[in-house]
Structure 1
């Protein structure tokens, strides 16, 4: 069965970017520190990135994040979702209106204008098709940004405030030289 996974780098105090994120400063001021682990040579960081992206059958992101990753200072062959780690999953963008053009034309983009739940349903269909094609279980990954994941958890932004209380079951903890990777199941 296709799982829905929320996968995002977050500071201990609940922030997913530094202050003032935008097209020329995607992660905000000093926000790149949140993603140091994704570019480190630490073998555990590499394993976490490889395993996380390898399970991706489809990835959901919000329009603000799409505008950053598809913008002129966004993803390229060296930086992007699992760059250098795995194939390229389908990407589903939640938006009120699709963009007029897409810079990253080598990626499979689907734009859903009818809300997050429809975007997740579309991503699930794409992940299930990719699972069938590959012969292995693949998941839907909620990449973010924070508002999209917060909405998916009905918690808002920042991730850890508001909404109904949730029970989390710890699956794994992997400390590395650059980060501590925490994996939880939401019960």
Structure 2
């Protein structure tokens, strides 16, 4: 069965976005994602391996609107940034869009909430695992509220945080008001741009 992995960047003071209308990250929030375009070989390897094992990705509607918007992703900055992958993409939304700009990607829109989206993503990841002959994961990409909800609901088995060496001071916190969870640290990889920390969620 495919693992459910929550994967996101976070500031040293625990924020996943900053306020502001500029993009999904807010004004100055792009500092959280320097590692995605880093030349550091360990960052590149971490991103490449994560993209390669992603069978399906779950994201919220706000993030979809940014990704599929006119200034959103393209062939050079797709899923996995420079390590562009094309897993199935499952969007949690109450209102599916009338059209999709990135029509070459495999989109599924789920209106029954997060559990339905995770179930749909798991089905897609397991089908891709069978056809590809290797185990592939379901990755919860965000936003922060979606991942916090998934952690609170107990559906996340692995949490990977990319802790950026930046203090944002304000924004959307990942864990405020969260249901208590025990984490077991599995690995820590420090690079020139970020510290990648992976936990098992109990």
TM over 0.5: yes
Q: Secondary structure of the residue that 1:16 maps to in structure 2?
A: strand
Gaps of 5+ in 1: none
Find the counterpart in structure 2 of residue 7 from structure 1.
7
TM-score by length of 2: 0.87
Q: Is the 8 A contact 1:54 1:86 kept in 2?
A: no
Deviation at 1:86, TM superposition (A): 5.0
Q: CA RMSD in A?
A: 1.4
Find the counterpart in structure 2 of residue 136 from structure 1.
134
Check if 1:183 corresponds to 2:198: yes
- What are the within-5 Å matches in structure 2 for residues 20-99 of structure 1? 20=20, 22=21, 24-85=22-83, 87-99=85-97
Which is bigger in relative contact order (C-alpha 8 A, separation at least 6)? 2
Q: Is the 8 A contact 2:37 2:81 kept in 1?
A: no
CA distance in structure 1 between the partners assigned to 2:186 and 2:108 by the alignment: 31
CA distance in structure 2 between the partners assigned to 1:53 and 1:87 by the alignment: 6
Find the counterpart in structure 1 of residue 160 from structure 2.
none
Find the counterpart in structure 2 of residue 169 from structure 1.
184
Deviation at 1:154, TM superposition (A): 1.7
Q: Secondary structure of the residue that 2:58 maps to in structure 1?
A: strand
Deviation at 1:84, TM superposition (A): 4.3
- What are the within-5 Å matches in structure 2 for residues 139-154 of structure 1? 139-154=137-152
Deviation at 1:158, TM superposition (A): 2.4
TM-score by length of 1: 0.94
Length, aligned pairs only: 184
CA distance in structure 1 between the partners assigned to 2:76 and 2:147 by the alignment: 25
CA distance in structure 2 between the partners assigned to 1:79 and 1:164 by the alignment: 34
Q: Secondary structure of the residue that 2:152 maps to in structure 1?
A: coil
Q: 1:122 to 1:171 in 2, by over 3 A?
A: same
CA distance in structure 1 between the partners assigned to 2:199 and 2:132 by the alignment: 26
Deviation at 1:26, TM superposition (A): 3.1
Gaps of 5+ in 2: 154-171
Deviating above 4 A after TM superposition, structure 1's stretches of 4 or more consecutive aligned residues are none
Match of 1:158 among 173, 179, 193: 173
Q: Is the 8 A contact 2:189 2:196 kept in 1?
A: yes
